[in-house]
Amino acid sequence: MKMGRVVEKVMDAGFDPAIRKLMDDDVHEMLVEKALDGDQAAQVRYIERFLGVVGEIDGELRRDLVRKVTFLGAEDGVEEFLEEVSDRVVLFENEVIDLLRESPPMEEAIEIEIEDETQTDEMVFRVWNPGGGAEPVAEFTVLDPEARADFIREGIHDVIAASWIKDMRGIVEGVLHDLKRKEVK
């Protein structure tokens, strides 16, 4: 089993700071060091912490992750989970862009804050149809992304975003409905 690679994937996906929050710093450092050095027990504990973080974000996503790890093994299961969640978020963003193309122009972008205890990046879902032939925007990003040019959406951000898709769909539909009603008046 290539559990060391799974630990690296989880770390590369941006989950390590959230895992660190669940532990004493010294214990975390020792766990990571042992896990990356091939200690299988440490690797399993690290993956358990990863499952815990995903569970804190969304229980349904945790169940999806557990199913994938169970059926595909740790490495392939984690990789497929992260890819599937990312795809789900991109698909939703594209669906909203399509809806925006059919909506009246908006004076300014609407940023819907995403409440999250796991990550402190102040995520928002930004929606905007500037009109005048400009491409609409629908994206999960951070508050004031222009001031944070170094922000890169990672796996943990996709998991957080995916947990909010159902709520965002309802909010966006309500906003677009209100815009169309204003245009008709």
- Phi, psi of 24, rounded to the nearest 5 degrees: -65, 140
- H-type alpha helices, the chain: 3-12, 16-21, 25-36, 40-57, 59-72, 74-101, 155-184
Beta bridge partners of 141: 124
Tens digit of pLDDT per residue, the chain (185 long)? 467 789 999 999 999 999 999 899 999 999 999 999 999 999 999 999 999 999 999 999 999 999 999 999 988 999 999 999 999 999 999 999 999 999 999 989 999 998 877 766 788 999 999 988 899 999 999 888 777 888 888 999 999 999 999 999 999 999 888 888 877 65
Type of residue found at 52: G
Q: What is the biggest distance separating any 2 CA atoms in the chain, rounded to whole angstroms?
A: 67
Q: What is the pLDDT of residue 178?
A: 86
SS3 35: helix
Query: What is residue 5's predicted lDDT score, i.e. its pLDDT?
Result: 87
What is the pLDDT at residue 14?
93
